[in-house]
Amino acid sequence: MEVLFGTVKELVALAETQNKSISEIMIEQEMQMTRRSREEIVAQMENNLSVMESAVEQGLQGVKSTSGLTGGDAVLIQNYIKSGKSLSGDLILDAVSKAVATNEVNAAMGMICATPTAGAAGIVPGTLFAVKDKLNPTREQMVNYLFTSGAFGFVVANNASISGAAGGCQAETGSAASMAAAAIVEMAGGTPQQSAEAFSIVMKNMLGLVCDPVAGLVEVPCVKRNAMGAAKALVGADMALAGVVSRIPTDEVIEAMHRIGQSMPSALRETAKGGLAATPTGKALEAEIFGKDKTSRDAVNS
């Protein structure tokens, strides 16, 4: 089966010439590629939406990971919003707290929906469930939010990477934030081209982000990078809706991300050997969690 689009340029062109939304093009491609019915495909995405919703709710109740490194921050941010003192705005902070909630659940080995990966799973739902309160979307529009995110993620995954081990955190939270920005634009009534602009604006600001998880866990700094990714997604979407465009076309931004990922040393690609993982405190936390040195950590299971 031939794919309908392999690049963002093709995706936007299809939406424009057929006068359809990005989410609709994604659904049609999925039907063509998998020979499944629209009902089946939409139902599966609705299930993903429900999983995301449950994870946000669970995280907002407060969870703690087994390592003890993360948990409880979503609750702190919600309490801060309620205090009425927030500077960056309640909507942004709500998205931030819901992104954090999802990733805290992930770190605690709870059930989440990878978007596009587990380490970056907070951004798309975090922004969605925050924007929901402002835009009052139907359930169908919420499902479409995920298809639009998926359409952009599909291009990234096939032309660059969505794996931290392959491309650094720019490939995970960078992709997720850019995908979310594009989806926010569609839900807010922007054009397909504006979705692409929002994607580019955000992705450009996530370029070069390394994957340096402390102790190799998807916790520090992953959870807070999801928080910032959610904030960037909202700002990027607003910029695109305001009419701001990216001087570098989206597909070239994705290509740049790919090349940056390939030239990143392996110490900065999820090996826990560089960056924050290699700081004195990062090392101390690793020793605290896994024992005195890595040798003993590896020996535990043999």
Binding site for other proteins (CB under 8 A): 3, 6, 26, 29-30, 33-34, 41, 44-45, 47-48, 51, 65, 67, 105-119, 121, 124, 146-147, 149-151, 153-154, 157-158, 161-166, 171, 179, 213, 215-219, 266, 269-273, 289-290, 297-298, 300-302
Minimum distance from CB of 85 to other proteins (Å)? 32
Residue (81 or 179) nearer to other proteins, CB = 179
Backbone dihedral angles phi then psi of residue 26, each to the nearest 5 degrees: -65, -40
| Residue 136, CA distances (Å) to 23, 101, 128, 142, 188 in order | 18, 21, 11, 10, 10
Contact at 8 Å (CB) between 198 and 184? yes
- Which CB, 111 or 244, lies closer to other proteins? 111
Backbone φ and ψ of 204, nearest 5°: -60, -30
How far is the C-alpha of 179 from the C-alpha of 200, rounded, in Å?
Answer: 10
User: At its nearest, how many Å lie between other proteins and the CB of residue 239?
Assistant: 24
Give whichever of 79 and 296 is closer to other proteins, judged by the CB atom: 296
Burial class (CB in 10 A: 0-12, 13-18, 19+), 35: exposed
> For the chain, what's the residue count?
302
Q: Distance of CA 125 to CAs 128, 137, 207, Å?
A: 5, 14, 22
* CB closer to other proteins out of 18 and 47: 47
One-letter identity of residue 77:
I
**In the complex, what is the shortest distance from the CB of residue 200 to other proteins, in angstroms, rounded to a whole number?**
18
Angle, helices 250-262 vs 139-159, to 10°: value is: 50
Residue 284 CB: number of other CB atoms within 10 A?
Answer: 12
Nearer to other proteins, 21 or 65 (CB): 65
Smallest distance, Å, CB 4 to other proteins?
12
Question: Shortest gap between Cβ of 88 and other proteins (angstroms)?
Answer: 27
Nearer to other proteins, 22 or 95 (CB): 22
Our CB check for other proteins shows the closer of 149 and 246 to be 149
> Which of 25, 235 has the CB closer to other proteins?
25
d(CA 52, CA 222): 18
We find the least distance from the C-beta atom of residue 2 to other proteins, in angstroms, to be: 10
Q: How far is the CB of 261 from other proteins (least distance, A)?
A: 11
- Of 58, 55, 66, the closest CA to residue 215 belongs to 66
Q: How far apart are CA 76 and CA 173, in angstroms?
A: 22
Q: Tokens at residue 299, please? A: 């020996």
Please state the closest distance from residue 83 (CB atom) to other proteins, in A. 30
